[in-house]
């Protein structure tokens, strides 16, 4: 129960920020009170020594961290990487982390492509992916969250909508939902559907974790999920709608990977997460953080 024993100056344990090496100097000066936790990618941080490893340790000793994977290729044709899972499990133990999430996507065949790609939305793919998620959960010894991904193409031969696909996979795997509201918005604009209707079709009762981020708009109007801009109002509105539907506080992380502004500007966005959480759930400082992954 490491999360409850941390003594931090945070006013809220439910809003967090992606932990990045370039943010460390600013965070060493002061961690804004709006930040209650951090998120790390095991692919960047597990087995990291030297200054970066030392810095990570200094923060995981003071703050709760969430582990968010990138390379597991849950829906990919290559074999499930057992070694990656075992090393992720050890990494989480070393740093007292208890929540792991990954993308509902794929990134490798017989070699890694190093980015997130869309899974064809068929019954067969549901069974295949759900079975791999279940195996991942067995190795990690916990339920994991699976994130709705952003995509720019719809693989041909789909037998269901994206929301149906997410629900089917999550229910068959008996895993949790990692909800990314920016990804919903990006896909809704790129494929022409109502993001709020989509949101309501997801298995929100299984939500363990939420991402919010900014995106980039190309000249032709296509939205690219860059995590390189400020969060826009329609995405904040989706976040608020999600909170009202979920009905209980849920850890929410601001993702910012490019064009990273100063800590003050980032803090304004994290503070907005806090504001929306308090509007939906009341004051959260007294609520102990849930352990959503306990099986």
Provide the binding-site residues for another protein, judged by CB under 8 A: 43-44, 46-54, 70-72, 76-77, 81, 84, 106, 108-115, 117, 119-120, 122, 124-125, 128, 152-153, 155-157, 218, 220, 222, 224
Residue among 119 and 176 whose Cβ is closer to another protein: 119
Which among 94, 167, 103, 144 has a CA at the least distance from the CA of 292? Answer: 144
Rounded CA gap, 195 and 109, in Å? 31
Residue among 10 and 88 whose Cβ is closer to another protein: 88
Helix (H) or strand (E) holding 166: helix 162-173
Rounded to a whole number of angstroms, the minimum distance from the CB of residue 157 to another protein is 7
Rounded to a whole number of angstroms, the minimum distance from the CB of residue 156 to another protein is 3
Pair 39, 17: CB distance under 8 Å: yes
Residue among 9 and 61 whose Cβ is closer to another protein: 61
Rounded CA gap, 52 and 55, in Å? 5
Rounded to a whole number of angstroms, the minimum distance from the CB of residue 113 to another protein is 6
Rounded CA gap, 161 and 131, in Å? 20
Residue among 156 and 192 whose Cβ is closer to another protein: 156
Give just the sign of the alpha carbon dihedral 110, 113, 119, 120.
negative
Rounded to a whole number of angstroms, the minimum distance from the CB of residue 271 to another protein is 30
Rounded to a whole number of angstroms, the minimum distance from the CB of residue 137 to another protein is 18
Residue among 87 and 275 whose Cβ is closer to another protein: 87
Backbone φ, ψ for residue 230 (5° rounding): -70, 155
Q: What residue has token string 């979920």?
A: 246
Rounded to a whole number of angstroms, the minimum distance from the CB of residue 220 to another protein is 7
Rounded CA gap, 29 and 260, in Å? 17
**Start-to-end CA span in the chain (Å):** 14
Residue among 125 and 242 whose Cβ is closer to another protein: 125
Name the token pair of 198.
Answer: 């989509």
């Amino acid at each position: 129960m490491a999360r409850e024993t941390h003594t931090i100056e945070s006013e809220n344990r439910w809003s967090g920020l992606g932990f990045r090496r370039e943010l460390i100097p600013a965070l060493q000066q002061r961690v804004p009170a709006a930040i209650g936790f951090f998120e790390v990618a095991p692919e960047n941080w597990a087995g990291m020594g030297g200054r970066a490893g030392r810095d990570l340790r200094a923060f995981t000793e003071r703050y709760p961290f969430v582990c968010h994977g990138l390379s597991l290729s849950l829906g990919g044709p290559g074999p499930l990487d057992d070694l990656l899972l075992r090393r992720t499990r050890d990494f989480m133990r070393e740093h007292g982390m208890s929540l792991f999430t990954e993308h509902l996507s794929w990134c490798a065949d017989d070699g890694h492509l190093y980015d997130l790609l869309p899974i064809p939305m068929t019954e067969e793919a549901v069974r295949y992916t759900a079975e791999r998620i279940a195996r991942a959960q067995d190795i990690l010894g916990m339920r994991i969250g699976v994130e709705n991904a952003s995509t720019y193409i719809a693989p041909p031969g789909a037998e269901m909508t994206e929301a149906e696909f997410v629900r089917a996979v999550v229910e068959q795997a008996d895993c949790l939902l990692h909800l990314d509201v920016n990804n919903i918005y990006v896909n809704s604009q790129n494929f022409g559907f109502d993001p709020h209707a989509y949101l309501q079709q997801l298995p929100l009762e299984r939500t363990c974790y939420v991402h919010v981020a900014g995106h980039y708009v190309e000249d032709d109007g296509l939205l690219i999920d860059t995590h390189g801009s400020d969060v826009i109002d329609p995405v904040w509105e989706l976040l608020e709608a999600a909170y009202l539907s979920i009905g209980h506080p849920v850890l929410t992380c601001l993702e910012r990977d490019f064009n990273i502004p100063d800590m003050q500007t980032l803090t304004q966005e994290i503070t907005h997460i806090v504001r929306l959480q308090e509007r939906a759930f009341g004051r959260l400082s007294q609520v102990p953080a849930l352990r959503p992954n306990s099986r």
